[in-house]
Amino acid sequence: MKKNVLKKGFIGLTAMFLLGACGADSAGKGSTEKSKESSSSSSTEVTSGASATEYTDPSELKDSYDIIIVGGGGAGMAAALSAKEEGMDPVILEKLPVAGGNTMKSSGGMNASETKFQKEQGIDDSNDLFFEDTLKGGKGTNDKELLRYLVDNSSPAIDWLDSMDITLDNISYSGGASVKRIHRPHDGSAVGAYLVDGLVRNIHEKEIPLFVNTEVTKIVKENDQVTGVEVEVDGKSKTISGDAVVITTGGFGSNKEMIEKYRPELKGYVSTTSEGSTGDGIRMVEEVGGAVVDMEQIQVHPTVVQDTGMLISETVRGEGGILVNQQGERFYNELETRDNVSKAITALPESYAYLIFDGALADRAKQVDFYKDQGVVIEGKTIEDLAKEIDMTPETLKETVDTWNKAVKDQSDTAFDRTTAMDYDLTTGPYYAIKIAPGIHHTMGGVKINTKTQVLGEDSSEVKGLYAAGEVTGGIHGQNRIGGNAVADIIVFGRQAGTQSAEFAAAAKK
């Protein structure tokens, strides 16, 4: 496949995926049934983006492969590429009409420590500091072995991506991080579409079959070992055998029944997740004896546009944006962990807030261009003009911004003890505001795995031949996921799943 054709198709789908939560359910509560309906309709609507020729033709689906990867998001593609590097014959099966999944919706970046890009830019970081920041963010409940593997393998993962011309060298702050650690594309744009585009390009260059509109409905297990999957494609059911199966189907943020089952108080919350995030993989793994952990740990992101479910990247706050209430006053440390910022917004009388930033920040954070295109950014020539546009007292908002600018100059936020992302003041017009409130963003619970990504049962014994990676798994993030760790999770553990499943498959052939 020619690279230019592939790239054009995937960039053309960026907007659709970034607004996909709204498509899944305007109230953020898409059920499994609704997702199926949406997936079906999407397959006929996607005519100007990725065409059928950009994916493997359904007629080419074979009866067996070395490794079957269920889910075509970032973790699945990372697993496939790693398995291919090990000499295996992997296949990717994706239920939606396009690849990318929830990865496409990621607007921030990838956390990594001790990277070559940090060193080049004079950023002093360490794996131990990354570990401690994440453990603190997760309230000490993270699976420490999984977390240790994540941080220790984050820098090699950045190098691995860079070796495939997926370069994340623009580094900034993210909530819960002590130093600049979140790695973004060179121009500072959203990581999701860039990452998916690069991974798919490499999938095609390495001739790895990637099937879409191919829904896995069951994991097949015989004689105490996973031997394949059952799929539905072109209206027909088929059993495909494999020496190993890797589950990378994502979380359950768009399955309202599962959300309400584990967290009834989140009923009615808007969701930012992909329409494919319906918990299918978790269900199938449980059916073959896999255990789950932390299912009640569901992350709410503080900055979500409520009528569309569009997430406003933490990058905006990481580049110096502030949050104000309807009275035009700051009310919390904007770069605290997501759970705490969300609680602070929900506790406001109006239960919403405004994200305030200036023209210079908009130039640095390229995601803002997309937000403008989608009509969610309110603009004012001066800060007083902006205040009038959002029904605030101009003098109050002006005083708030002036106080913040002085805090940046003095490097001392006496109001809320913010210590990170204070590199830039807000002094360059025009000025902007985005109205936000919390929304469901990430399900931190899921399938129980070990550092080899082997799926484990309730007794911690491995389910032979079955591996899992990405948001479908649980335990890594504890009670709160640090911004930037989702992409780190899918790449680090996606690679490991590909490597370990390949090792298992190779042993099975002997």
Active site residues: 338
For 289-333, the three-class secondary structure string (H helix, E strand, C coil) is CCCEECCCCEEEEEEEECCCCEECCCHHHHCCCEEECCCCCCCCC
Name the nearest CA neighbour of 305 among 370, 364, 362, 256: 370
Which whole-number Å values give the CA distances from 167 to 12, 89, 158, 251, 367, in the listed order? 21, 26, 8, 26, 17
d(CA 406, CA 438) in angstroms, rounded, equals: 29
* Angle at alpha carbon of residue 475, lines to 470 and 481, rounded to 5°: 75
d(CA 416, CA 14) in angstroms, rounded, equals: 36
Both structure tokens of 198: 């690069």
- 3-state SS assignment for residue 417: coil
d(CA 347, CA 311) in angstroms, rounded, equals: 20
**Amino acid (1-letter code) at residue 404:** W
* 3-state percent breakdown (helix, strand, coil) of the chain, nearest 5: 40, 20, 40
- 3-state SS assignment for residue 339: helix
Name the nearest CA neighbour of 328 among 391, 397, 261: 397
Give me the torsion for CA of 309, 314, 319, 325, rounded to 10°: 70
Q: Is the dihedral of CA 344, 347, 353, 356 positive or negative?
A: negative
d(CA 136, CA 176) in angstroms, rounded, equals: 8
- 3-state SS assignment for residue 340: helix
d(CA 111, CA 177) in angstroms, rounded, equals: 9
**Amino acid (1-letter code) at residue 354:** Y
